[in-house]
Amino acid sequence: MIASGFSWFRLIPAIDHDTLLHSMGIAEHSLDPSTGVANSAVYAHAWLTVAVLLLVAAWGRVLLNRAKARSGIEKYFADDRPTILSLVEVYALGIKSMMGDLLNKVDTRYYFPLIAALFAYIFVNNIQGILPGFLPATDNINTNVGMAIIVFLTFNAVGLYRDAGGYLKHLMGPVLPLAILLFPIEVISLFIRPISLTIRLTANMFGDHQVFTIMSDLVPVILPVGLLSLAVLVSVIQAFVFSLLTIIYINLSLPHHEHEAH
């Protein structure tokens, strides 16, 4: 089913024929050129990821409120068995630890929602690629372009808001006479960042799924089990790389005196 691009959402005629978005006036009939799957199906899987993450977040909040309602110091005790709350806590600590290596405590707390959301969204989308009847939205370049644009707007907004003069001066280079040469190069490099984010994620996820499909056809019994483990690892690594590069770009956009203080 994975190899043929099958999706449970394609059982819905409006999605399979890509008429859903067209009837809503959002887009014309179109297919993803890399997979031949209707874009409506891709968007459906993207929204499924959003629904899953919102459900986990809401469930975790309910369990957190219950824990805080306990009397005395029992509110700080961990549960006897793994729960959604413990999973969310470990995830949050991991993201904060990754951010803390590059950002100070204030910036870590401020940009935590963005980084945590990017990592979780990319990972859950990637994991859908190894589940029968599900397709990863990160296999579609449109999804990754959207995330890359958000990152691009964020790190530029950070630089301009925190120290516009210093940010522009950094783009012009340390020597003013060379600004005519360095400024265009630096501006081009800023636009290359979202492009590289998009191409890296799309190419890796598309390549991973193509290898899985081809090798599963050649050896359909034993080999796919090992490839599934590799696919999970790739899903984690790609989410980590995208999030880490976002943190680095934000860090580079901060004023230089804040870098030195950190």
- Tens of pLDDT, residue by residue over 99-130, are 998 999 999 999 999 999 999 999 999 998 78
How are the residues of the chain apportioned to helix, strand and coil, as percentages rounded to the nearest 5? 80, 0, 20
CA–CA dist 144, 161 (Å, integer): 25
- pLDDT for 214-256, tens place per residue? 776 676 666 666 677 888 888 999 999 999 999 999 999 988 5
pLDDT digits (tens, 9 = 90+) for 138-159: 888 889 999 999 999 999 999 9
User: Do 68 and 169 form a contact (C-beta atoms < 8 A)?
Assistant: no
Among candidates 128, 175, 142, 119, which has minimal Cα distance to 43? 142
pLDDT reading at 65 higher than 80: yes
What the block records as the tokens of 72 is: 């005395």
What average pLDDT does range 19-30 have in this prediction?
51
What is the torsional sign of CA 33, 149, 198, 196? positive
d(CA 251, CA 102): 7
Decide if pLDDT at 16 tops 70.
no
Ranking 15-19, 89-93, 176-180 by mean pLDDT, the lowest is 15-19
The dihedral formed by the CA atoms of 232, 117, 59 and 66, expressed in degrees to the nearest 10: 120
pLDDT number for residue 97: 94
Give the Cα separation of 154 and 228 in Å (integer): 34
Copy the structure tokens of residue 61: 């909040």
